[in-house]
Amino acid sequence: SLLTRFAWYARRRSRFSSLYCSNRRATGSNLTALDETGLTQETLFTFTTDHGAAFSRAKVTLYDPGLKIPFLARWPGVISPHSQIDALLSNVDFTPTILDLVGTSPPQAETAFHGQSFAALLRHKPHHQHRAIYAEHTYGVTRASNSTR
């Protein structure tokens, strides 16, 4: 019935809200610890997830809400506070980015990483962006191409 579906949705939303608040507190605690230990200026702090929100047509789907994830970063002196980057990124881009930021070259094999560094974006410099992001369900045969550019 409609009432049963609404109750289920309300419970899911409540759990999501609780998780959001918990993550917000934990992120704040981590940032405070960096401030208190004097490590803020030399630390790139990032927060992300591995999939979309746990709502219908979102988590574990190939619809846009199931593919979009949050990415927050704080890097004093490099990333301007409250700045936003409008770019198509994927979690496979994180390893090449971190290697680039610490000045280490990725392994020479061309197939070592599927992603590309977005370190230039963090530094507000020009960056060659993805034209599309590809996703699939690894437990089924569903495949999709998600392109927002």
pLDDT tens profile 91-143: 888 888 888 888 887 777 666 677 888 999 888 888 888 888 887 776 655 55
**Separation CA 113–CA 132 (nearest Å):** 16
Q: What pLDDT is stored for residue 34 in this prediction?
A: 92
**Separation CA 82–CA 74 (nearest Å):** 9
Q: Is the model's pTM score more than 0.75?
A: no
Question: Backbone phi, then psi, for 127, in 5-degree steps?
Answer: -145, 135
Q: List pLDDT tens digits, range 27-63.
A: 888 889 999 999 999 899 988 877 766 677 777 778 8
